[in-house]
Amino acid sequence: MSDPTTTPQTTPPEAPSALADGEAPAPDLSEVAFTDIITELLRRLGEDPDREGLRRTPARMEEALRFLTRGYRMDPEATIGDALFQERHHNMVIVKDIEMYSLCEHHMLPFIGKVHLAYIPNGHILGLSKVARLVEVFARRLQVQERMTEEIAQSFWDVVQPQGVGVVVEAHHLCMMMRGVEKQNSSTITSAVRGSFLEDARTREEFLRLCTSEHRPLR
């Protein structure tokens, strides 16, 4: 169903191999255990990796990092493809406030926030919980918010094949907040649209208004 040219990569990008003149090649650490690398990291930060509180930190950190990057090992079609239901509904479907936790690829620090996704079905609707699963596929990687927003929209477009889809992401970036680069309460908003959301200004405006509205409907 999905176009192979737009299928998101499921493995981390390869590091560029070209070295600048006079630059020594990086030592080959491929045989070194993950936990040993983290132990050395702790040492370089000025810590004593043998002290009580840190003794299991390398193992915990490895486990945490593997969990936080598990999106590389998930496939969008396998994740949501079996939850498509035939439906002749042609009105906009909105899934709001999906929790999102990702890591910025520049600092490997968290950026966290909410994803809102809306679409106009074209014969198929997707089980609601699967929208959250699709967000996981792309959030659980090293990311930049703009690319993640595009990837969620594109893979929904490829797999669900709706008349149109729009995605809005509102996030706080800890690399900005903790390093004092940004005011604590500012958030970054990104959006991506496909199909009728791109072509029809009224559809797009309705979507943006519903997604960014401060007035949450009563439960």
Residue ranges that bind Zn ion, judged by CB under 5 A: 104, 106-107, 175
Angstrom distance (rounded) from CA 154 to CA 139: 14
Give yes or no: 124 in active site.
Answer: no
Which one, 150 or 158, has the nearer CB to Zn ion? 150
User: Which parts of the chain fold into alpha helices (H)?
Assistant: 34-44, 57-68, 76-80, 128-139, 145-160, 174-177, 196-199, 201-212
Catalytic residue among 116, 136, 145, 163: 145
**Residue whose C-beta lies closest to Zn ion:** 175
Return the closest-CA partner of residue 65 out of 41, 95, 47, 84.
Answer: 41
Catalytic residue among 40, 47, 62, 105: 105
Give yes or no: 211 in active site.
Answer: no
Which one, 107 or 133, has the nearer CB to Zn ion? 107
Give yes or no: 175 in active site.
Answer: yes
Shortest distance (Å) from residue 9 CB to Zn ion: 20
The 10 Å Cβ neighbour count of residue 82 is: 9
Return the closest-CA partner of residue 119 out of 154, 79, 147.
Answer: 154
Give yes or no: 106 in active site.
Answer: yes
Which one, 59 or 108, has the nearer CB to Zn ion? 108
Give yes or no: 107 in active site.
Answer: yes
Shortest distance (Å) from residue 188 CB to Zn ion: 11
The DSSP annotation for 110-138 comes to: EEEEEEEEEEE-SSEEE-HHHHHHHHHHH
Which one, 54 or 65, has the nearer CB to Zn ion? 65
Residues annotated catalytic, as ranges: 104-107, 145, 173, 175
